[in-house]
Structure 1
Amino acid sequence: MVGHALRAFCAALLAVPAVACSAAAQDELFTKLLVDRDGVVTVTDRELAAAGARFADGEIARLRLTLRGADVPALLRRLPAGSADGRFDLTFVGERPHGEKTWDDPFVRDNVYLLRVSGPGEEPRRLERIRAPRPAPGTPLDASPSTVHLEDNRKLIRFTSPKVPDEVWFWAEVKATDKAATSVPVPLEAVARDGTARLRVRMVGYSHLPESPDHTVDVTWNGEPLGQAEWDGETGHVFEADLPAVKVREGENALGLRALGARTKGIDLVLLDWVEVTYPRKHVVAPGGQTPLTLADGALARFGTPSDLLVFDVERARAYEVPSRGGTALFAAPASGSPKPAAGMRPYLAVAKGGARAPRAVAVSRPADLTAEGLGARYLVVTHPRLRAEAERIARVRAEQGLPSLVVDVEDLYDRFNHGFLHPSAIRDFLAVAARTWKPAPRYVLLMGDASWDYKNATVSDSDYADWHWSPQWPRVMPKNTSNVYGKKDLPNDRQLVPTWQYQSPWGHSASDNYFAAFAGPDKPPDLAVGRIPAATPEEARAAVDKILLYERLSPGELRSALFITNEELAFQRATDSLVSEAERQGYEVRRVYPLPDAPANAESTQALVDAFDAGQAFVLFNGHGGRYIWRTAATDLKKNADLFTLADLDRLAETKGLPVVVSLTCYSAPFDHPIADSIGEKLLRVDGKGAIAVVASSWRNSPPLELGRKLLQLLGGPGHERIGDAFVDAKKAAGDVMTISTYNLLGDPATLYRGPVPGLAKAAAPGPTSPEPNEDGEPNARPDPSR
């Protein structure tokens, strides 16, 4: 049998013989327990069944819990017949997801615990439940050290290589220009009044100036000064201070941070990473609650609780039954054991009856087995369930064209290739397996779905993202580029459907779909033709697919016009003219729009672009300056004529069948992973019935790669390059440099059949007019016509 998702798709395409839909795998149930905070977790048979996970009586004893492939000890308890919770419950010590080098996982908010029936030879790991030994006489402890780690990863900061720290998400900006100190709430529970607490605050310098130290931050606790943190440069620093327990409040405390900038002329930018407080916490377990504690081996703990307790030994996978007598429970930590405790202390969790938490959610899936024998496809669509109908529609068309085709649910890839966790590597690992083992192997991969670099927050605000790295040019602010936001702040973070990879460019992180198909290394040329339709809704996906289907009704070579655009700088015009000559050699009828340096505004050039798009083009190339994710000029007076072609101008375009391949050789024309901002590359593809059939553009800053544009002109539509993706792959290989390979992406379907001139079939013709030859001073002898 084929897997459920695979079978459903194949059943819809049985009439199309080119669709590859054979697989040799049975349906397999994946039950995912989602946990977003530390503590003891219990899931019941009833909760599992409500989510669709129903286990036979003979399977219950074989239930196995894993986290990222590692076994997790779990306490399996059979319940009395007729229990409201069903036949059993399963209890384990859960934790929030952590990154390899960071407190929070960079990609997910939940840990994914997989619950499956163990196979032959597999033995589920069980948590041992035992009665606690009677404690020997001694002085009991009413409190023990407890560490609270607070971290709110709200702000994504742009760092430039090679200075990228492990952590790029931060809690708050602390600036010398702030009118008041930054106040950070620090809530603490069950504070004992005896002893000493320890405060640790990690900050990272963002500004970097010659003065030393160039960062000075005043630190206060509940309004009382604790001292100053001083350090240098774009580095991390941990401020530490002792706090008398009497200064630590039950409930909310206030940490104050104020950057001074006294040595640096008022310039000091600091990023708050996290706050930790280790304090004496009382051994109090409320009814239906749980309490963390740390104990040395052999220590005696006394709990104030009316309930019997289960005390979980986190390191040694045991749960001790501890009775309560007269509102007090005594627990003696084992005197010795293995492994030896770190720093002389071991972590425990004391849980009252009913105090275990439920998972944040229970999710069930039956992912297709995409490693089964007999699979094959030349055309793959990796998509999100939200867009599946449009993915199947384009796959059906490709199958009818003779490309064996398959739609793959991206969530199946997380389950099969990354233990249920969202991560771009799951897509890459799947494609590597398919390229190595499938017959036929994939050639074209369409990623249908938008991406977002913010995996963490439920809402998104443009003010939370630094667009540029700090520079003395912007000494007192977090650099922004006034991007084209979809709306106001605090929009739902709902555009993360198919993730992309973050390539670390010299100007910061940049979206790179190249990663998915570059099996020799993420900065190597791709082995497969990968494109993306950055749609977030079915309507956006439908508009893109409609355009493709209408475009491919044209005949090869039916579109012959090419439009070349640059700015008023002579160097850009000369470089663009070299591409114009190439286009004319390939049989294109060329039009140019070159703004004039002394034009009072860009209105004439902008209208020329609108008219050219409306007339229908095969190929459009822009070579110049990009700004705020649009096309712009570099005029002296930026307020007068900076913006050449904006997102608003795309709304003015008329519908046409003559949709071009747009090549944008400029900075950030298509940062499709921006959570809240639109770009000209995305909107060209997304607008209904107009714009572009495909866009080749960079996701962040770069130097225009002219060779990429030249090779696309030479290859598009030629033998072996009838489909746009084939030309894109070989043009990248010819361009060669890492920045172009990694940051230039194809927006559109890589299997789209090109309808522009066919190289080699064009009549030989003398090159058309180019920019005037320069005079002895290097200036043009005549002014170019802006709409030529």
Structure 2
Amino acid sequence: MHTKTAFALGLTLALVGVGLGIMSGLTFPTQAAFAPRREGPPAPAAPDDAFAPSPAAAALPPAEPAAPPALTPSSAPTPWTLPDPVWRIGVTRDGLYRLACDTLEVAGVPVSGTATSALRLWHRGLEVAIEVNDVNGNGLFEPQDGLIFYGEKFHSSPQDEKYTDENVYWLSVEAGAAGKRMTSRSVSPLGAPATDMCLTTVVAEQNLRYWARWYDHPGTATTWFWERMVVPVGQVVTSTYPLPLSHIAAAPHTATLLIEVAGKSFDAAINPDHSLRLTLNGAPIGETSWDGEVGHVATFEIPSALLQEGDNALALAVVGTTVAQDVYFDRAELTYLREPVAAEGALTCKVPTTGAHTYTFTGLPAGAQLYDITDPLNPVKLTDHSGFTFQDTVSAGTRYVGGIPAPRAPTFTSYLPLVLRANSGATRDVAPVASAAIPAVASSPAPTLEQYHPDLSLITRTTGADLLIIAPREFHAALQPLITRRQEQELRVALVAEQDLYPLFNGGVYHPEALRAFVAHAYENWPGPAPRYLLLVGGGHFNFKGYAPETFGPPARIWIPPYLEFADPDQGEVPVDARYGDVNGDGLPELMVGRIPANSEAELATYLDKLLAYDALPAASWTETAIFAADDGASSPEPSYADSFRGWIQDQLFPSWVVTHTVYMADYCPKPPASWTAPCPSATRALTETWSQGAALLFYAGHGAPGVWAHEPLLRGSQLATLKPMTGQPLIIALDCWDGYWMYPHNTNLGNGREAVSIGERATMGWGDRGAIAVFGPAGLGYLYVEEPMARAMMQKAFVDGERYLGELTQAGRLAIWSLNSGKYLARTYTLLGDPSMRLRLTDAP
């Protein structure tokens, strides 16, 4: 028996409001979990099997919904026109905040001597009620004055919360305005029954293991887990987690335990195939079971007599009695009644029952204040209490907070999500705010305060654009030569700062939907013709909050975030760049989307140099050349990869003037006698030498994983360094898995010589004088029966219709996938690493 002891995180007492938040946020519908399809044991993969095994060439794509899930909000929501100027306040934990006059002045807020009524606070277009400490009562904001507001961290769906913890409020100073103020309510004690109980939730959770879920209907959205438990048949593995409780109410009551887990294994012959037994402090509290590769949330009622002060030992036993188990544990939440005793001078209390009650809050310091924060945008100050004893008539779920919202010395580490970006357009000052949050924890980050001038030209535009380029401001100077080149090619170009889109299109909260909403707005509202191309400039990764640095490396900047979606039936969550150009939310982008996944200014400059040089290259022999590389199977012959290419050539899909070179694995290392997993250096050498001579097109069909073509392998990403400098770098069209994947943290050590960077990303971004000019490949797994008609459609567009622009070629491929009966999701997951407005250097027909 295995027992693991760990520590609990996220005690919600006085830290977060229980069960309520001010953000409805963006909703991603949770659909019913369907039965998994996978047969046989999974292949070895990255830590915690981050990458799903590649399907066989003859396999059919998994069944999928008739249509992708709808996006919310609407396709082009009305942007919020912020006041100008306005000051951005970033908050990363729930509590009361006091902003002193001198702090506001340091940040450039013109408050000294200003009418107190001119101060206004905003959240996603709605005004927030604040309290102004006008010490002299003269209606003017003076050095001794301050303003108090209640702020919360970003609360939304689990999918949306992956991107950030930071919520955003906006402070404006508007002469002649009557800013919204908190109301007050008298709560003098009048003899109602005493109720010394608050509903409190303790959360035990750590985010140590990443798993993309290997499913497009995982049931729950979690991809970060605490622990993975693998249990052979006939065994039981137990892990123990502490739940720290304090001041448990003496009155007998029923507590509620919630656990979230996810099944990774699946046995079609057994239902259910996952089983857990739970104990608390050694006492059995229940069992739960479920079936398939899906998430599972279970709740248990627990008599309060089982609870104890201090750590409570929650033991989860994974039972492998009839089938091997592979289960991930996410978190446990225990909700119980707690006495209203402050911790570290602050208290948050959720009322358990409706009616008139008398409360006595203890442990609060003298001078503390009480507020009703049930409506976080409209807190109510509670007055006339007697030493924190008060009577109130409210509904169950009402929330109180008590403490002193007084200035304190802030920690001088401003919180930013791991994008580590400038958060606004014309930022004048970025200052940690002298404030008091409830609770006043020394390590709690102070809110940040920044002046911001909204770029309203993004909303009301006088000129249209053919090419939208979204890039962090730091990349704008490097992009100017590309913009000039595209303008010389008679394209209207609009360069937009990524940082300006979050305030206008998502209230300042960091989320990729802000970028998509802007694109939809420009498409539907800017002067026509509507934009055709969308170029995202910047790379990134999925570890937004810097979890598990010992595994995934130190936090690295995210330049343009991945749009995370459970789009791949085999891999689960993948980056879906096509969503950024999807105006109507049907899953097929209206704009032709590409990304330059640069992770530094130097890397971007290197790629842009080769892109601009490529643009100016004259016709030569390499512009008439196509290379075909094919796998021969994983563990048994799969001739369909090479046969597809032979069919293309025999069917004269390419004009007679196209010179073709083939590197088929079966021609170099036939099996037998060669091993299915032994390197085939002759094939690798043939591919790299042929590639080094230059080509307009390079096709690869076969198995793939990040950093690998074929199981032998035919090519590793590290072997791209052996390519010789070449004049003509090809467009790679990948009929495989993973070549469009770009979001795995580069500092991760996958072990066994495996690489976190896909061949597609490395070939595009690794070198200026070799590699590929662009890559079109899947961000997850692919199926030849879907990818082959896609590539055929692209070549017909090029050689029959004479199309040379990369965006139009990739869109033809997406439309071909969209017309199929199955595998439509690949129209979304196929990703262009490169510029969609680039003209392919391919010889025109004589």
Match of 1:260 in 2: 319
Match of 1:236 in 2: 296
- Give the residue type in structure 1 aligned to 2:357: A
Distance 1:347 1:26 in 2: 30
Do 2:208 and 2:548's aligned partners in 1 also have CA atoms closer than 8 Å?
Answer: no
Q: Secondary structure in 2 aligned to 1:585?
A: coil
Match of 2:16 in 1: none
Distance 1:379 1:59 in 2: 46
Question: Do residues 95 (structure 1) and 149 (structure 2) align?
Answer: no
Match of 1:404 in 2: 492
Of 207, 211, 218 in structure 2, the residue corresponding to residue 164 of structure 1 is 218
Percent identity between matched residues is 24
Do 1:69 and 1:419's aligned partners in 2 also have CA atoms closer than 8 Å?
Answer: yes
Segment of structure 1 superposing worse, 676-685 or 564-573: 564-573
Match of 1:312 in 2: 371
Distance 1:123 1:586 in 2: 76
Question: Do residues 35 (structure 1) and 123 (structure 2) align?
Answer: no
Q: Secondary structure in 1 aligned to 2:741?
A: coil
Of 661, 675, 699 in structure 1, the residue corresponding to residue 779 of structure 2 is 699
Match of 1:447 in 2: 536
Of 451, 466, 469 in structure 2, the residue corresponding to residue 378 of structure 1 is 466
Change in CA separation of 1:320 and 1:63 when aligned onto 2, cut-off 3 Å: same
Match of 2:433 in 1: none
Match of 2:685 in 1: 607
Match of 1:20 in 2: none
Shift of the alpha carbon at 1:681?
Answer: 0.5
Distance 2:584 2:257 in 1: 43
Of 614, 620, 637 in structure 2, the residue corresponding to residue 551 of structure 1 is 614
Match of 2:180 in 1: 125
Question: Do residues 690 (structure 1) and 773 (structure 2) align?
Answer: no
Change in CA separation of 1:392 and 1:248 when aligned onto 2, cut-off 3 Å: farther
Distance 1:731 1:247 in 2: 60
Question: Do residues 577 (structure 1) and 646 (structure 2) align?
Answer: yes
Once superposed, what is the RMSD of the aligned Cα atoms? Answer: 3.3
Change in CA separation of 1:719 and 1:211 when aligned onto 2, cut-off 3 Å: closer
Segment of structure 1 superposing worse, 369-378 or 152-161: 152-161
Q: Cα deviations across residues 102-159 of structure 1 (Å, max 9, x unaligned)?
A: 4972432122223335699x864321245x4432246644443323344445544444
Match of 1:776 in 2: none
What does residue range 459-474 of structure 1 map to in structure 2 within 5 Å? 459=548
- Give the residue type in structure 1 aligned to 2:333: E
Question: Do residues 148 (structure 1) and 218 (structure 2) align?
Answer: no
Change in CA separation of 1:211 and 1:719 when aligned onto 2, cut-off 3 Å: closer
Change in CA separation of 1:126 and 1:717 when aligned onto 2, cut-off 3 Å: farther
Question: Do residues 729 (structure 1) and 729 (structure 2) align?
Answer: no
Q: Cα deviations across residues 462-491 of structure 1 (Å, max 9, x unaligned)?
A: xxxxxxxxxxxxxxxxxxxxxxxxxx5333
What does residue range 555-570 of structure 1 map to in structure 2 within 5 Å? 555-556=618-619, 559-568=623-632, 569-570=638-639
Distance 1:174 1:643 in 2: 30
- Give the residue type in structure 1 aligned to 2:776: V
Q: Secondary structure in 2 aligned to 1:547?
A: helix
Change in CA separation of 1:124 and 1:134 when aligned onto 2, cut-off 3 Å: same
Do 1:670 and 1:700's aligned partners in 2 also have CA atoms closer than 8 Å?
Answer: yes
Distance 1:127 1:150 in 2: 34
TM-score after normalising by structure 2: 0.74
Q: Cα deviations across residues 663-713 of structure 1 (Å, max 9, x unaligned)?
A: 111111121123342100100101122100011111111113122222333
Match of 1:774 in 2: none
Match of 2:661 in 1: 591
- Give the residue type in structure 2 aligned to 1:703: Y
Q: Secondary structure in 1 aligned to 2:552?
A: coil
- Give the residue type in structure 2 aligned to 1:145: L
Question: Do residues 667 (structure 1) and 737 (structure 2) align?
Answer: yes
What does residue range 761-780 of structure 1 map to in structure 2 within 5 Å? 761=846
Do 1:586 and 1:713's aligned partners in 2 also have CA atoms closer than 8 Å?
Answer: no
- Give the residue type in structure 2 aligned to 1:721: E
Segment of structure 1 superposing worse, 204-213 or 91-100: 204-213
Of 563, 569, 573 in structure 2, the residue corresponding to residue 500 of structure 1 is 563
Distance 1:27 1:68 in 2: 12
Q: Cα deviations across residues 383-423 of structure 1 (Å, max 9, x unaligned)?
A: 12343332334223322333232221112111111111222
Q: Cα deviations across residues 534-572 of structure 1 (Å, max 9, x unaligned)?
A: 111112211111110121220246622211111234322
- Give the residue type in structure 2 aligned to 1:320: L
Q: Which runs of 5+ in 1 are unaligned?
A: 1-24, 462-487, 634-641, 762-788
Shift of the alpha carbon at 1:72?
Answer: 2.8
Of 345, 348, 366 in structure 1, the residue corresponding to residue 400 of structure 2 is 348
Number of residue pairs matched by the alignment: 684
Shift of the alpha carbon at 1:165?
Answer: 1.4
What does residue range 13-162 of structure 1 map to in structure 2 within 5 Å? 28-55=84-111, 58=114, 60-79=116-135, 86=143, 88-100=145-157, 102=158, 105-117=161-173, 124-129=179-184, 132-137=186-191, 140-159=194-213
Match of 2:18 in 1: none
Question: Do residues 426 (structure 1) and 478 (structure 2) align?
Answer: no
Question: Do residues 530 (structure 1) and 610 (structure 2) align?
Answer: no
Q: Secondary structure in 2 aligned to 1:71?
A: strand
- Give the residue type in structure 1 aligned to 2:342: V
Distance 1:375 1:615 in 2: 44
TM-score after normalising by structure 1: 0.79
Do 1:216 and 1:229's aligned partners in 2 also have CA atoms closer than 8 Å?
Answer: yes
Segment of structure 1 superposing worse, 58-67 or 438-447: 58-67
Do 1:310 and 1:352's aligned partners in 2 also have CA atoms closer than 8 Å?
Answer: yes
- Give the residue type in structure 1 aligned to 2:455: A
Shift of the alpha carbon at 1:377?
Answer: 2.3
Distance 2:596 2:828 in 1: 18
Change in CA separation of 1:353 and 1:192 when aligned onto 2, cut-off 3 Å: farther
What does residue range 646-657 of structure 1 map to in structure 2 within 5 Å? 646-657=716-727
Q: Secondary structure in 1 aligned to 2:342?
A: coil
The structure with the largest alpha-carbon Rg is 1
Q: Secondary structure in 1 aligned to 2:218?
A: coil
Q: Cα deviations across residues 215-262 of structure 1 (Å, max 9, x unaligned)?
A: 33232334x233332222145242424254684224x44322221222
Distance 2:115 2:694 in 1: 64
Change in CA separation of 1:350 and 1:518 when aligned onto 2, cut-off 3 Å: closer
Do 1:65 and 1:71's aligned partners in 2 also have CA atoms closer than 8 Å?
Answer: yes
Q: Secondary structure in 1 aligned to 2:244?
A: strand
Change in CA separation of 1:81 and 1:71 when aligned onto 2, cut-off 3 Å: closer
Q: Secondary structure in 2 aligned to 1:181?
A: strand
Do 2:192 and 2:356's aligned partners in 1 also have CA atoms closer than 8 Å?
Answer: no
Match of 1:437 in 2: 525
Shift of the alpha carbon at 1:660?
Answer: 0.6
Segment of structure 1 superposing worse, 441-450 or 229-238: 229-238
| Larger relative contact order (CA 8 Å, sep ≥ 6) | 2
What does residue range 216-227 of structure 1 map to in structure 2 within 5 Å? 216-222=275-281, 224-227=282-285
Distance 1:552 1:174 in 2: 50
- Give the residue type in structure 2 aligned to 1:279: Y
Match of 2:60 in 1: none
Distance 1:245 1:196 in 2: 8
- Give the residue type in structure 1 aligned to 2:775: V
Q: Secondary structure in 2 aligned to 1:590?
A: strand
Of 720, 729, 749 in structure 1, the residue corresponding to residue 835 of structure 2 is 749
Question: Do residues 519 (structure 1) and 599 (structure 2) align?
Answer: no
